[in-house]
Amino acid sequence: MLYAFSENFLLALSHDEVVHGKGSLIGKMPGDDWQKAANLRLLLAYMYAQPGKKLLFMGGDFGHWKEWDHDSSLSWESLDHDFHRGIQSCTRDLNRVYASQPALHQNDCRPEGFEWVNANDSASSVLSFLRNGGGEDILIVCNFTSVVRPDYRIGVSLPGSWRPLFNSDASRYGGSTPPTESSVSSDPVPFGGCLHSLSLALPPLGAVFLKRETAENK
């Protein structure tokens, strides 16, 4: 982030990451199969949330197990299984959210499109930041541990409600979080240098996107 806006960057998870003995993206992930899938969904969500355009090499979008081989096809038959269909659905929804929300793409290459909320919570391994664009704000919170955090507090500058847009741990992706459309309202509790704050339930190895509700987007 020290030089993210010095030029127009492309964030690439390219073929070079999955050849020459490096293994597939999902194969690099630690833990059991559930944790591997959660880690991959978290990685994809973190990439989509960052400033810069995105490049995802074929196979990473559905958790292809094998290292890429230019002499053979991808294992499309793996999409017969819920495990891989969940990762594919997650990628599809990330594409939809990224394209439909100006805050995630309008200022991709401008510093005014990004603002750290908390980049220093190493004790919890949680990163939080805002994306801004089109007069709208989207809050992204990423939990990089397998620990559920049921009451994680985030400072916000304005009072109001935040509507969930995306959760990489959603049950339809193979995660553990049931569907919810409930907005989260801020509390008049100062936190992190802000006059207001949110209490969020953070899923394990998960990323959540929340959009600040205004009179125009309710």
41-95: pLDDT as tens digits: 999 999 999 999 999 888 999 999 988 888 889 889 999 999 999 999 999 999 9
Nearest in space to 42 (alpha carbons), one of 32, 52, 29: 29
Query: Distance between CA 56 and CA 94 in Å, rounded?
Result: 12
Residues ≥6 apart with Cβ < 8 Å to 10: 52, 53, 54, 55
Query: Distance between CA 146 and CA 166 in Å, rounded?
Result: 19
**Strand-strand pairing, 206-212 and 184-185:** unpaired
The per-residue pLDDT for range 106-125, each reduced to its tens digit, is: 998 899 999 999 999 999 99
Straight-line distance from the first to the last Cα atom of the chain, in angstroms, rounded to the nearest whole number: 32
pTM of the model: 0.93
For 110-212, CATH gives 2.60.40.1180
Domain boundaries, the chain: 10-100, 110-212
The per-residue pLDDT for range 149-190, each reduced to its tens digit, is: 999 999 998 889 999 999 999 999 999 988 877 899 999 999
Query: Distance between CA 138 and CA 104 in Å, rounded?
Result: 8
